[in-house]
Structure 1
């Protein structure tokens, strides 16, 4: 992870796709995204009724698959009958399991993952990461202090991201993290001074240019590139990584 951050910002493909018209949280799409980038890839973790961790953003499967109902009521066997959907319709791909994705990542050089663990316990998400020896290739998103503490404890080598909205948050999480590095996920609408304080403290800065629904970016690639440069962003999450990459190579 350290080597990937030597020339920031590192672009993170939201939900693993290169464009919102593609299939989200899809292993086949992630393979393509890695090939054309390579980009870090953000994925969403959830549990089915069998207790298996799979990739799915919503609580229900209706929007992104051919099925219906809450994921928590569907067994792993039932999930295998469903197909993921893209904007153009159903695909031939199943909802990928977390284990399958980690296995692919472990066998593929330079794959970097951003894990939105949602309601999955940090220890459960990171147990598989440690087994696959991927601790130095993941960022774990946490959004509450209790969840962050559990994540720090679960894996001493993984990069843990914490939500930072005030300078006090930075102080709190520095005390929790101790001497280990951590990342601050700072909302894009925060004051520039907050980004500056985090940067001066040597903390890895993550932000995004996602819109209210998170399916589209609220900034153009050009504005996103300027935003990243102005605020010394280390990792930028976007729905259009290829366009942002092109804009970052230009000087306006």
Structure 2
């Protein structure tokens, strides 16, 4: 999607001070030499899709016991089995991360309608561990192993790219070419000879559910119990915002 606005400065005599070229990683801003004239501003968006080369999946266990200590102890023992299952599937320790622990008291509220206070049942602990792998082809086997080890609260999988920015390198050139053509067209329509680039800034980023996302994701468990996972595609969106000065 492309947004464009043409901004003409009153009398076209505003003077901007020339500044040196600036380049920064991330929210990149580049400023070139300036000149007198009205300013043309617009943005160009480009989406780049590709097959993911990294995935993460979470699995957790919920444990309940009369005391918080007992619930946490039982949950820790169950989580050790999940971590061991992930390592047995070749997942490195650095790629296994606890993503959430929750400890809460549990009550039975069924008797409240009779004027009775809630009945205390005990404590519940929920814990989730996330495993990340570059071997997407074996993601289904990893999920099977986590479930077989006692994992019940499955989260994901989520797909991403190890070097997402590399996919945007050819896209940047395509966006620059489109921007130059658009600026030249606006200059002609407005009665100016040409358009000189004043500044460009980069935005956009990885698109997805709570970082990152997969397109055409298909994860299901067949009757045989084997998880079937299709990675589909992930997307990066490149947004460049341009400013050109129209020159007579």
The two structures have a TM-score, normalised by structure 1, of 0.22
TM-score in terms of structure 2 length: 0.22
Q: Which has the higher contact order (CA 8 A, sep 6+)?
A: 2
Q: Which has the larger strand fraction?
A: 2
Instruction: Determine which structure has more spread, i.e. the larger CA radius of gyration.
Output: 2
Whichever structure has more helix as a proportion of its residues is 1
